Structure 1
Amino acid sequence: MKQPRSPDPLGTAARRAAIRLLDAVLRRGEPLESALALATRALPGGPDRGLAHAIAAETLRRMTDLDVLIDSATKQRLPDDAKARFALRIALVQVLALGTPPHAAISTVLPLVDGGPRKLVHGVFGTLMRGQATLPEVPTLPAGVAERWAHWGADVGEGAARAISAPPPLDLSLSDPGKTAEWAERLGGVSLAPGHVRIKDAGQVTELSGFAEGAWWVQDIAASIPARMLADVGGSVVDVCAAPGGKTLQLAAAGASVTAIDVSETRIKRLRENIARAQAKVTVVQADALDWTPPAPVDVVLVDAPCSATGIFRRHPDVLYRATPAIIAEMAEVQAKILARAAEWVKPGGALVYATCSLEPAEGEAQLERFMADRSDYAIEAPGPGLPDGVTAHDGGWVRTLPGTLEAEGGCDGFFIVKLRRASA
């Protein structure tokens, strides 16, 4: 008679969810955050969901080095998508990076390979533990990413590797820049620029002072630069691809009359929530920028274009694996179409700001060169005095933040930003 299966050890469900998250990212190319709800739907509460997310994210940060360890203890290399490799990755990352005791890490992983390579997983894990395996303090970038970013120079590659060694600090933009020192003291943070506070070990964002009344919103310091280039903006502004709304709120706080557009219903919902919390006056439009046209030409158009998002790899390490050369090329074509359309909305003498959270020249420098070759009525304009300390403009007039920028202060996302001025009639 078949014996009843013993119950899984406590915590196994969170590890099963972590495997689902990794599978969604690595095999199906889904963003980690987008996959979270479905992958964790069977978990009972927030802490378990948080654990599953932490295991998956840390695995992605250190996967190159985890795979080196696994390969060192197997006679034949396991396929990249093998169940045993996935199980070993999350068992090892728990012990070597998250501080989980070895017995807890392996006991909660073995049920995930029941009916499969259980002995293999147990044996490889035991071999590595007995050999006192360790991970390097600075993770190794995935080979394809390292090759693609090599043109930036060794310092940038090394800075990127250091940047993924731990989750970054929390950045907040303030609705009232005049209260920067007050909020820095209240939140136990530091100011990197007027209207900006950085916090380490922030905990639950919604529990922080000032959240409920909309005194600030979450926004990386680099992401604040496009609107900082328009610090003295007045009149009419169209913010293209506006969600989640950080730049929209910056512009509204500076006194502009902002129309924020985005195509995604889900992103629009989040945009409206952030606008309502900050009690900002903004016109929100759900529309595709390639189909929509403003009622009349405007003073400023800000295009924070959809992109590969490789510049936000510190917070979203999944982009290191999802942003393939094909996706980068595809997004560059989308950006070119949006830029060409948005350029027509700007009044003579008005400004167009183009930005991407990407570390790919195709979504930055090359895109700008392409645009300027087609538009003799636009000229690059210096970014002005609003840049954060430690961020400087390129000789060509644009701003490029890279891994290593502001590293002593906790780093920043990778961005390309340029301000363009349309010729007067």
Structure 2
Amino acid sequence: MDIPGYPARKAALRLLDAVLRRGETLDQAAGGALQGLRGGPDRALARALAGEALRWLTDLDALIDSATRQVLPVDAKPRAALRLMLAGWLRLDTPPHAVIATGLPLLAGGPRRLAHGVFSTLVKRGVRLPDAPTLPEPVRQRWGARADAIAAGLANPPPLDLTLRDPAATADWAQRLDGMSLMPGHVRLPRGTAVENLEGFEQGAWWVQDLAASLPARLLGPGEGRRVLDLCAAPGGKTLQLAAAGWQVTALDASAKRIERMEANLARTGLAAKIVKADALDWLPSAPFDAVLLDAPCTATGTARRHPDVLHRIGQRQIVEMADLQAALLARARDFVKPGGTLVFATCSLERAEGEAQAEAVTLQPAPIAIAELPAGLVPSPQGWVRTDPAMLDQAGGLDGFFIARWHLPS
């Protein structure tokens, strides 16, 4: 069908189906759903439409239900098409006539009149979305007292954070890139920035890394030639940080594809690390390390700003499975640290079972994180842990949800 913008909408419909019906991530679904799209703009539009539909799904469904006599099944194709049409109009500022022209063909051979009627009714009403997305009820219950604040932090995709190879050049790079810095070694740019076109990319002066994701490696301090193990290391942001800070890095990961990306980033930045492809639960080092950083696999609910699919894919089953894996990895990581060494544990999850509950089970001597080690505006917990969420540093653009704890092993 030769309608400008239609192929991107059709791809967005496939993305929604993959996430909501098959439980895939947006990244997993993209390979198949975006096939056949010509050029980057169409692919970006499909991802943006699907992402905004997922971010605001509860509110979009409420609008749709307010304009129908009979409630459409949650998996009905007209509902999916209307979600995308409303996301295009209310979130991407697509004019209603263009939404109709590109959205109704999604229902070829189906109830176009129904979708047209619902959308037109909502346009005539002049409906708007709330200031913050309404969280699915199971998510709201899990996130408890912070749920409303976190929801406000999810209203928009995140800005672009860069970690610098040389923290001493922070002021220089912030000026050259016309960005802002929230701590040494960090520069923040507006979202939508084309990374490959930025000054310093080809020279490897920086890499893309959310500010919260950069904190765990920072908490190990300067390496001064000491040995560190980065467990579950790929795609390599923390490996790059540790190497730049003077550590002798061993980076372990089980995914060959993700290791390829890490190797490319090491080559671009001119930094060095010993890469090991292995399962952390089976692997044994030849000698213990001065420090171990375990950024453990998790449900990644803390990345909901850029991956709103986690709001709808993740439930108690996945949380329990990941928490069990994290506990096993923590036990292994502890054995890899030499006496007097340091262990840092982190997850990009907002779930207590993947953060505080893991730290409470560790019997090592705590090494409390100090406020001076964090960006202005972040405060450690009374236990000396760090818990971030998307509502924090909101005036500066927010940050991902993370949990971080640190311990020392007895000498």
TM-score by length of 2: 0.97
Q: Note if contact 1:174-1:196 (Cα within 8 Å) is conserved in structure 2.
A: yes
Match of residue 49 from structure 1: 43
Q: Distance in 2 between matches of 1:203 and 1:193?
A: 20
Establish whether residue 383 from structure 1 lines up as the match of residue 366 from structure 2: no
Q: Note if contact 2:158-2:191 (Cα within 8 Å) is conserved in structure 1.
A: no
SS state of the match for residue 373, structure 2? coil
SS state of the match for residue 140, structure 1? coil
Residue type matched to 1:359 in 2? L
Match of residue 315 from structure 2: 324
**Worse-matched range after superposition: 20-29 or 133-142:** 133-142
Residue type matched to 2:393 in 1? L
1:8 offset after TM fit, Å?
Answer: 4.4
Residue type matched to 1:209 in 2? E
Out of 355, 361, 385, the position equivalent to 2:346 is 355
1:242 offset after TM fit, Å?
Answer: 0.7
Residue type matched to 1:388 in 2? P
Match of residue 406 from structure 1: 393
Establish whether residue 122 from structure 1 lines up as the match of residue 116 from structure 2: yes
Match of residue 247 from structure 1: 238
SS state of the match for residue 190, structure 1? coil
1:397 offset after TM fit, Å?
Answer: 1.4
1:201 offset after TM fit, Å?
Answer: 4.1
Q: Distance in 2 between matches of 1:285 and 1:409?
A: 37
Q: Distance in 2 between matches of 1:194 and 1:102?
A: 45
- What does 1:283-362 align with in structure 2 at a 5 Å threshold? 283-362=274-353
1:298 offset after TM fit, Å?
Answer: 0.8
Q: Note if contact 1:240-1:261 (Cα within 8 Å) is conserved in structure 2.
A: yes
1:202 offset after TM fit, Å?
Answer: 5.1
Unpaired runs of 5+ residues, structure 2, are none
Q: Distance in 2 between matches of 1:321 and 1:249?
A: 32
Out of 216, 223, 226, the position equivalent to 1:233 is 223
Q: Distance in 2 between matches of 1:362 and 1:137?
A: 29
- What does 1:9-408 align with in structure 2 at a 5 Å threshold? 9-150=3-144, 153=145, 156-201=146-191, 203-234=193-224, 235-372=226-363, 378-384=364-370, 385-408=372-395
Identity of aligned residues (%): 57
Q: Distance in 2 between matches of 1:358 and 1:320?
A: 12
Q: CA 1:79–1:202 in 2, change beyond 3 Å: closer, same or farther?
A: closer
1:127 offset after TM fit, Å?
Answer: 1.5
Residue type matched to 1:44 in 2? R
What is the RMSD of the two structures over their aligned residues, measured on CA atoms? 1.2
Q: Note if contact 1:183-1:197 (Cα within 8 Å) is conserved in structure 2.
A: yes
SS state of the match for residue 342, structure 2? strand
Q: Distance in 2 between matches of 1:405 and 1:119?
A: 44
1:14 offset after TM fit, Å?
Answer: 0.6
Unpaired runs of 5+ residues, structure 1, are 1-6, 373-377
Q: Distance in 1 between matches of 2:321 and 2:23?
A: 15
Q: Note if contact 2:157-2:191 (Cα within 8 Å) is conserved in structure 1.
A: no
How many corresponding residue pairs?
409
TM-score by length of 1: 0.94
Q: Note if contact 2:305-2:390 (Cα within 8 Å) is conserved in structure 1.
A: no
Instruction: Write out per-residue CA displacement over residues 261-307 of structure 1, whole angstroms, 9 at most, x where no aligned residue.
Output: 11111111111111111110101111111111111111111000000
1:16 offset after TM fit, Å?
Answer: 0.4
**Worse-matched range after superposition: 163-172 or 194-203:** 194-203
Residue type matched to 2:186 in 1? H
SS state of the match for residue 361, structure 2? helix
SS state of the match for residue 12, structure 2? helix
1:326 offset after TM fit, Å?
Answer: 0.7
1:383 offset after TM fit, Å?
Answer: 2.1
Q: Distance in 1 between matches of 2:128 and 2:368?
A: 48
1:309 offset after TM fit, Å?
Answer: 0.4
Q: Distance in 1 between matches of 2:191 and 2:52?
A: 17
